[in-house]
Amino acid sequence: MSSAITNMIFGALAIAGALSGRFRLPFTHGPTPLMIVGGGVFALGIYQLIRHKRG
């Protein structure tokens, strides 16, 4: 369960950093790829949390 919450936190931080415009992934020209990766990590955290709750 802690990995799910950790993934959700890192995903949210990546999205927030990308939306601020100050952060981007290396070798990319804009923040959009970071937003996509952050959204994926956040979605993975939600999936892990749901899977853990269902047992």
Give, for all 55 residues of the chain, the pLDDT tens digit.
Answer: 799 999 999 999 999 999 999 999 999 999 999 999 999 999 999 999 999 988 7
What range defines the domain where residue 28 resides?
A: 2-54
pTM: predicted TM-score of the whole model, two decimal places: 0.90
Number of independent structural domains in the chain: 1
Region of 3 on the Ramachandran plot (φ > 0 left; ψ -120 to 50 alpha; else beta): alpha
> How crowded is residue 26: how many other Cβ atoms within 10 Å of its Cβ?
6
